[in-house]
Amino acid sequence: MHLRALTGGVFALCLFTSSAAWSNESAASVVDSVTPPSATVPAATSKLQHLSNRASELAMEAMGLLGIEYQYGGNTPEEGLDCSGFVHYIFSEAWGKILPRTSRELSREGKHIDKQHLQTGDLVFFNTLKRKFSHVGIYLGDNKFIHAPSSGNVVRIESMDVSYWKKRFNGGRRISASE
């Protein structure tokens, strides 16, 4: 991840597999300021850029919830969120897509993705309760993911390289916006 200051107190967060941005201005104007006006996107890559932008929408929405309290069974930032409630809320807000509500059900959605092929916006699953797919988060790139971890904690970003997460990783799933 790379954080870079732009003009007027605007910051851009660049993820390795796509980019996300935030500021006190609209996200669109920030993304425009990060991409030089002279840059042209060949027609062959326009679909890839669209997918990358869609993944960025998920990442931006998710990062907007950093610090929200964990609440078992929680479905909204106001009441708190558990891991699957967090994922459910993010996909609903960013894409208008309604996903299942439990991590086990989420593990059956979309397409299986191997760890080395994870991209921003993919779901990542872990065995945290002595059963597969008992925890879920959203991959951000650079082996980092965002999630609602457990009671007494808040939504945060963690590294999948930490031994706790590394030995509990169960797999990834890619959800398409059109499914």
How do the domains of the chain map onto residue ranges? 62-174
User: In this predicted structure, what is the pLDDT of residue 89?
Assistant: 98
Annotated catalytic residue 14? no
pTM: 0.74
Q: Which CATH architecture has domain 62-174?
A: Alpha-Beta Complex (3.90)
Tokens 């459910």 -> residue:
88
What is the rounded CA–CA span in Å between residue 55 and residue 16? 12
Which residue intervals of the chain are DSSP H helices?
A: 27-34, 43-63, 83-95, 103-106, 163-166
Annotated catalytic residue 135? yes
Annotated catalytic residue 88? no
Residue-wise pLDDT tens digits, 72-106: 999 999 999 999 999 999 999 999 999 999 999 99
Of residues 44 and 69, which shows the higher confidence score?
69
The catalytic residue among 2, 50, 83, 88 is: 83
Residue-wise pLDDT tens digits, 167-178: 999 999 999 987
